[in-house]
Structure 1
Amino acid sequence: MHARLLRDGARDLLRDPTGIAGIVAVVLDPADEASGKAAASLLASALDEARMAAENDAPEGGALLDAVARAVTGWEADRPLEPAQRLRLAQTHARAGLAAPPFARLTADIMAKSEAPSGDMPDLGALLDPILEEMDDAPLQVHAAFSELLAGLPPELAGVLISMTVGRPGKVEARLGLYWLLDPNPDLRLAAATALLSRAEAGTLAPELGALLPTLRKWLPDDAARAALDGAIRRQMRRGGPPAAAPASTLHRAAASLPDGAGAQSLVAALQTGSRRGVAMMMLKQGHGVKDTFVIPCTSATEQKQTFVRILDEIETFDISPDMLAGALARGLGEGLASGRMPAPGIVDLAEILGPDALSPAVGDAEAILEAIGAAGVLADLSGTRRTALLKASADWADRFEQADSWFEDTGALRAAIARARTDKGRETAVWKHLSTRRAWWARQFAVCAATLKSAAGVDPALWLSFAAVAQALLEGRSLKRIPIMTGIMAMTLEADAARDDAVAPIDGADPADEIAALLAQAGITDAYLHGYLTALAITPQEPSPQDWLGGLLGGIEFPGAGALDRLMGFVVFQANALDEDAGDPETTIRALATFDADGLRHWATGFDALLTVTRRYWPARSLAADDKRVLQDIARAAKGAEGETLRRVLPSWVAQRHALRK
């Protein structure tokens, strides 16, 4: 019940983030311990929803993250954040799987200004021992709890604490080192690998844990951490002697869902190692690899069976073979390695159970999946009529599979494109244009479905072949309109867009601020995008006409009436005037940019570049120096995803200079 209430509250905040400021205030200054914990739990859940939305390019994610940053900035305007408050915010972000944003980090300057003594290292025992006492039999939970404590610390200090932790003599501490080898932060990976090397040199690394190192090495990028791990592996090999015989492991049952509309696939396995039983939960996500992995311990075979069945009752799944389970995980590992994303640390425990050779990263694109399941050969042997029939069978998928209800597209850019269209035909064209850029994504989605259903017990073989045929047709460039499921995805995308518009349509008596936020979100305009757009307006060498700059911003929004248009125009003009006043003050720009994380800065740059595009004639080349042109090029690159931290440092003074020249 508590978890459901948290989830529902978090989703409400994602839809309408206006209440997040009050929650942030309680996290920063709780009336008592209970209210502080409750607010932190709700904030972490809301941030988790925002993370997932942002991963899927839904603008609500960025809007909620921006709202949190605004709330913290508003708090800081009245009083500086204490280090403990920054760490509290960092921990809530870490719990949601997010890196600590700038306002939640302790920098050297902040620590130097703190009244607390900074010369002494924290008492590691005081930090770690209570966690170990509470969770000694759950190392993965120890890792999660301790990682939350480290969130927000300078990487150098966090790395030292990890080295000290892994260097302690306990077996749990060594396993924590294996988990930290998979940390997204390369500095923390290096700290863990170096500490494991020290243990290997000292002979304090248990053989059964040392035996896992070659497997983990396959999951790491070629960096300093892997080089240090190579040293640990060599030390273990020179020490000689086989590891102690591990208890036999058994995979009693495995099941998999089809991937949902975000590309997330759930895997479940009932496992036993010796007398210990558990149910493993895994999530793979296209573009992200192995997103989550953990094992739920069970005290008996009965509890294990009940847990497994309860999970299967929550989502449509298909029983699969152990080989299919390992193959899916291997493809997830390969996809993560190729995209620079580390797998979830819990996969260390699965490697121990499934064996060192079961989880070697494998190529995970659509072609490789179809090749692995033998689809190409089977389809090649079929007549053209039979292959066409398999494609036509995709028209029935929505009625046959529960997950197909979520197979539609929803991104900020697509929302804006749909909103710009003035006819049903135009809206369909916008979706088809978007889908044409997503061929490879949907081909892999359906290849995963084919692999799952081919391995599934009691499933008609025609089903997996139908998915394989559609995946192959997408790869071969067949017209999307001649593939029934793609026509269905187009229609469902428009239905979802219309349903969302109905949900956010202004009603009589609605708060104007809520209405404005809904209209901006509908067009995929985040706070960061708007700030960048209006910053560019404030420093345009020649003042553009309102028709040019307002049209470029509001042209993608479908208004429910003239009143809504007037209110939004009034809001935007007010914001433009306020930002024009602030643009000459570098400190104000520094504070504003500090509220944006890397994605937020990309949105800011996208907004800036959008204004530049629609007002190009107001930026004559003779008015721009070489340095100005360089900065504009850097902004354009940041809008396309290039690293932006150097730009973040340059912008405040540059914006002030350009603003002064315009004046």
Structure 2
Amino acid sequence: MGPEELIRACLDAMRDADAIAPAGAVAGMHRSALLGTEGVAAVLGGFAIGVHDADRDRSLELFEALIGEALRDEKGGDRLGALFLDEAARTIRLLARTDRLDAPATHDLARAYARAGAEAPPELVQCLAGHMAELRKAGTLPIDPDSEIERMSVVLDLDPHYLHGKLDERIGTLPKAARAAFAYEVACRDEAACGRIAMYWLLDESAEVRLGAADGFRERALRGIVDPMSAAMVPLIRNWMPADAGRTLLDEALAQARRRELIAPLPRPEWRRAEIYGSIPDMWGAQMLRAVLQGKEEPAVATVVTEPGRGIAQAIVISGMEAIGELTGSESFDALIETAWETFEEQVAVALAEGLAAERPPPAGLIDVALACGMWELRPRAMTAGDWLSELDPNDEIAALPAPVRKELVGGSAAWRDDYVVVKGWSGGTAVLREAMDEAKDADGVKIGFFARLEPRREDWALRMSRSAHVLKGAGNVDWKTFAATA
């Protein structure tokens, strides 16, 4: 099947899918074919500059999902992801040089890279800046906050999540110099929804957006229009922000709010925690943590996904029986293990610290998860593999076991692939073995080279096994000892 036929088949599958995120589902199901087939990125680029219809929208969603898959593939040590990203960059370079990237295509492609957490090709950034320069030269701002919000005023009192998502898409395409001003203008508005949006923007990936949101919160404090939710949550959110100018400005804003007695107590949790689940890390080291919640008219599910080096990759609360049916019926739910709430909370705290170490705040959805679950003490907690082992086995009982018993525990790792499906995806990466084979002269050389390349990853593997042990210990599963002993 050629690249165009493959893309057409995927777009048809997305159109007919009932999944919440059809692009992600299709990209995951056909990952190898889509990333490994030459011409896929070029076909998707053609859709971006083509007729504005439903297929174009789906193709851009698929492009975004594939960028995410490619990034994860690179982290796993495989080459398909790098090949796809390289072809995508070449496609955009060609479109830019032949003047086929108009403003809508530039905006939409830049948004796809931004949403996937990837750096856009320099040619795309230059085109974006060029379009913005034309608007500035004409005497108009790239985006007018008032007109944008007024256009969506019908949802101001209904759904701040929708409004935040729409404004977030727009602000992501602005030059850095304009982002802080735009965020400030939105955050200063009187509508309560704008206060909630400012709260979300305190956790934006863009330092400029965080700075503008913090300045907007300070202005709201000076004017005495801080809504009760922000008054309660912002002091907690402050602990989740990178230590930069935005957090410093927010500290000033909080001081203003306290002087005016605008800080409110934290609210009661919106739901009651009913069931808690966690997963063993997958082939990329990602983990899923999930809380099934009850207490309102409809139950809900709070989900947090963590990734090595990135911290918290996703945080979301979905309510309603239909959403829960979709989630519990998925393959990812089958890999979850019922565990303790303390396990959920600690894993989130550790992932939060890992993200902040890379100067990456958590996604804004963590605010919703905290509100739903009552995570009022959530603070970043940095943990090494050694720290995890001390947490799991504070009295060093495993280390004190006789050598034959410890060896037997480590030998229990042979059963992991049978007992835990997700472990079947664990590997050091085919690229590592391929490099060792390319340089070695014989089988012994391959073995030596392979393990020499794996040695720098020892800490990463120890962390993966320790986190697995933590989930299993919270579940009361004795297998935690085999993971801890192997780590």
Which interval holds the TM-score relative to the shorter structure? 0.7 to 0.9
Cα-to-partner distance string for 1:500-549 (whole Å, 9 max, x where unaligned): xxxxxxxxxxxxxxxxxxxxxxxxxxxxxxxxxxxxxxxxxxxxxxxxxx
Q: Alpha-carbon deviation of 1:426?
A: 3.1
Q: Alpha-carbon deviation of 1:394?
A: 1.6
Counterpart contact for 2:27–2:69, Cα < 8 Å: no
- 2:277 is aligned with 1:261: no
- 2: CA distance between counterparts of 1:122 and 1:339? 30
Counterpart contact for 2:36–2:83, Cα < 8 Å: no
With 63-72 and 232-241 compared, the bigger mean Cα shift is at 232-241
Q: Which amino acid aligns with 1:176?
A: I
Q: Alpha-carbon deviation of 1:355?
A: 3.3
Q: Alpha-carbon deviation of 1:312?
A: 6.7
Q: Alpha-carbon deviation of 1:236?
A: 2.2
- 2: CA distance between counterparts of 1:132 and 1:394? 57
Q: Alpha-carbon deviation of 1:73?
A: 1.8
Q: Which amino acid aligns with 2:41?
A: I
The aligned counterpart of 1:446 is: 465
- 2: CA distance between counterparts of 1:136 and 1:27? 34
Indicate the SS of the match to 1:270: strand
Counterpart contact for 1:270–1:304, Cα < 8 Å: no
Q: Alpha-carbon deviation of 1:138?
A: 4.7
Alignment partner for residue 349 of structure 1, among 340, 358, 368? 368
C-alpha distance 56-343 of structure 1, shift in aligned 2 (>3 A): farther
- 1: CA distance between counterparts of 2:324 and 2:428? 36
Unmatched 5+ residue regions in structure 2?
Answer: 1-12, 15-21
The aligned counterpart of 1:58 is: 78
- 2:68 is aligned with 1:48: yes
The aligned counterpart of 1:464 is: 480
Q: Alpha-carbon deviation of 1:255?
A: 0.3
Alignment partner for residue 410 of structure 1, among 398, 406, 429? 429
Q: Alpha-carbon deviation of 1:142?
A: 3.6
C-alpha distance 418-327 of structure 1, shift in aligned 2 (>3 A): same
The aligned counterpart of 1:388 is: 407
- 1: CA distance between counterparts of 2:264 and 2:60? 44
With 373-382 and 166-175 compared, the bigger mean Cα shift is at 373-382
Counterpart contact for 2:111–2:172, Cα < 8 Å: yes
Q: Which amino acid aligns with 1:102?
A: P
Cα-to-partner distance string for 1:349-390 (whole Å, 9 max, x where unaligned): 122233354311112221222222335533244333322221
- 2: CA distance between counterparts of 1:424 and 1:410? 18
C-alpha distance 212-90 of structure 1, shift in aligned 2 (>3 A): same
Indicate the SS of the match to 2:397: helix
C-alpha distance 313-380 of structure 1, shift in aligned 2 (>3 A): closer
Q: Alpha-carbon deviation of 1:5?
A: 4.0
- Equivalenced residues, count: 464
The aligned counterpart of 2:132 is: 111
Q: Alpha-carbon deviation of 1:57?
A: 4.1
Counterpart contact for 1:10–1:45, Cα < 8 Å: no
- 2:249 is aligned with 1:228: yes
Q: Which amino acid aligns with 2:37?
A: D
C-alpha distance 442-108 of structure 1, shift in aligned 2 (>3 A): closer
Q: Which amino acid aligns with 1:65?
A: L
C-alpha distance 8-380 of structure 1, shift in aligned 2 (>3 A): closer
Q: Alpha-carbon deviation of 1:454?
A: 0.4
Alignment partner for residue 444 of structure 2, among 413, 425, 433? 425
C-alpha distance 114-22 of structure 1, shift in aligned 2 (>3 A): farther
Q: Alpha-carbon deviation of 1:246?
A: 3.0
Alignment of 1:311-322 (within 5 A): 311=330, 314-322=333-341
C-alpha distance 403-112 of structure 1, shift in aligned 2 (>3 A): closer
- 2: CA distance between counterparts of 1:388 and 1:177? 54
Counterpart contact for 2:290–2:301, Cα < 8 Å: yes
Indicate the SS of the match to 1:379: coil
Alignment of 1:121-520 (within 5 A): 122-130=143-151, 133=154, 137-240=158-261, 243=264, 246-248=267-269, 249-272=271-294, 274-275=296-297, 277-298=299-320, 303=322, 306-307=325-326, 309-311=328-330, 314-355=333-374, 357-410=376-429, 412=431, 414-457=433-476, 459=477, 461=478, 463-471=479-487
TM norm structure 1: 0.65
Cα-Cα RMSD: 2.7
Counterpart contact for 2:96–2:123, Cα < 8 Å: no
Cα-to-partner distance string for 1:558-584 (whole Å, 9 max, x where unaligned): xxxxxxxxxxxxxxxxxxxxxxxxxxx
Q: Alpha-carbon deviation of 1:422?
A: 4.7
- 1: CA distance between counterparts of 2:473 and 2:48? 49
Q: Which amino acid aligns with 1:296?
A: I
C-alpha distance 153-165 of structure 1, shift in aligned 2 (>3 A): same
With 137-146 and 197-206 compared, the bigger mean Cα shift is at 137-146
C-alpha distance 245-214 of structure 1, shift in aligned 2 (>3 A): closer
Counterpart contact for 2:160–2:197, Cα < 8 Å: yes
Q: Which amino acid aligns with 2:319?
A: P
Q: Which amino acid aligns with 1:268?
A: R
Counterpart contact for 1:332–1:364, Cα < 8 Å: no
- 2: CA distance between counterparts of 1:418 and 1:137? 59
C-alpha distance 240-356 of structure 1, shift in aligned 2 (>3 A): farther
Alignment of 1:619-630 (within 5 A): none
Cα-to-partner distance string for 1:256-290 (whole Å, 9 max, x where unaligned): 11001211111111124654631112111122211
- 2: CA distance between counterparts of 1:91 and 1:305? 29
Q: Alpha-carbon deviation of 1:243?
A: 2.8
- 1: CA distance between counterparts of 2:162 and 2:75? 25
- 2:114 is aligned with 1:94: yes
Q: Alpha-carbon deviation of 1:82?
A: 3.0
- 2: CA distance between counterparts of 1:286 and 1:376? 28
Percent identity for Structure 1 against Structure 2: 26
Counterpart contact for 1:9–1:42, Cα < 8 Å: no
- 1: CA distance between counterparts of 2:37 and 2:395? 47
Cα-to-partner distance string for 1:168-220 (whole Å, 9 max, x where unaligned): 22222222222221222211211111111111221111122222122212122
- 2: CA distance between counterparts of 1:304 and 1:23? 30
Alignment partner for residue 92 of structure 2, among 57, 68, 72? 72
- 1: CA distance between counterparts of 2:58 and 2:300? 30
C-alpha distance 79-109 of structure 1, shift in aligned 2 (>3 A): closer
Q: Alpha-carbon deviation of 1:440?
A: 0.6
- 1: CA distance between counterparts of 2:163 and 2:440? 52
Q: Alpha-carbon deviation of 1:452?
A: 0.6
- 2: CA distance between counterparts of 1:304 and 1:376? 43
- 2: CA distance between counterparts of 1:74 and 1:309? 44
C-alpha distance 88-333 of structure 1, shift in aligned 2 (>3 A): same
Q: Which amino acid aligns with 1:111?
A: M
Q: Alpha-carbon deviation of 1:8?
A: 4.5
Indicate the SS of the match to 1:290: strand
Counterpart contact for 1:351–1:358, Cα < 8 Å: no
Counterpart contact for 1:418–1:427, Cα < 8 Å: yes
Q: Which amino acid aligns with 2:367?
A: V
Indicate the SS of the match to 2:51: coil
TM norm structure 2: 0.86
C-alpha distance 220-403 of structure 1, shift in aligned 2 (>3 A): same
Counterpart contact for 2:142–2:174, Cα < 8 Å: no
C-alpha distance 416-184 of structure 1, shift in aligned 2 (>3 A): same
Q: Which amino acid aligns with 1:392?
A: G
Indicate the SS of the match to 1:62: helix
